[in-house]
Amino acid sequence: MTDEIKTLAERIDALEMRLAYQDDTIETLNQTITAQWKQIDALTRKVAELGERLQQAETNAPGPANERPPHY
């Protein structure tokens, strides 16, 4: 009976170690995803801002953007 208890204790220890590593991995992945989400959000806002600036620049341009030069 002692060998069975020892074997079970070793299996429980192995499972506890795996659980600890999994918890650490999950926390690391969560931090990575959070950081990436913040970066994606910032980049999305920047793209929207640049799109607005481009529209303003096109609106304020003196003539049509696709007009051929007069020497053609």
The string of DSSP codes covering 8-72 is HHHHHHHHHHHHHHHHHHHHHHHHHHHHHHHHHHHHHHHHHHHHHHHHHHHHT-SS-TTPPPTT-
Tell whether 43 is covered by a domain.
Answer: yes
pLDDT tens-place string over residues 24-69: 999 999 999 999 999 999 999 999 999 999 999 888 877 665 777 7
In a domain, 44, yes or no: yes
The predicted pLDDT at position 50 comes to: 97
For residue 2, being part of any structural domain is answered with: no
pLDDT at 31: 98
How far apart are the C-alpha atoms of 54 and 46, rounded to whole Å? 12
Q: Among 2-11, 17-26, 54-63, where is mean pLDDT lowest?
A: 54-63
- Number of domains present in the structure of the chain: 1
Confidence band (pLDDT; 50, 70, 90) for 70?
A: confident
Would residue 63 count as lying in a domain? no
Does 17 reside within a domain?
A: no
| Residue 31 domain flag | yes
Domain limits for position 31 = 25-57
Does the residue 52 lie in any domain? yes
- Please check whether residue 9 lies inside any domain of the structure: no
Instruction: Tell me the pTM.
Output: 0.63
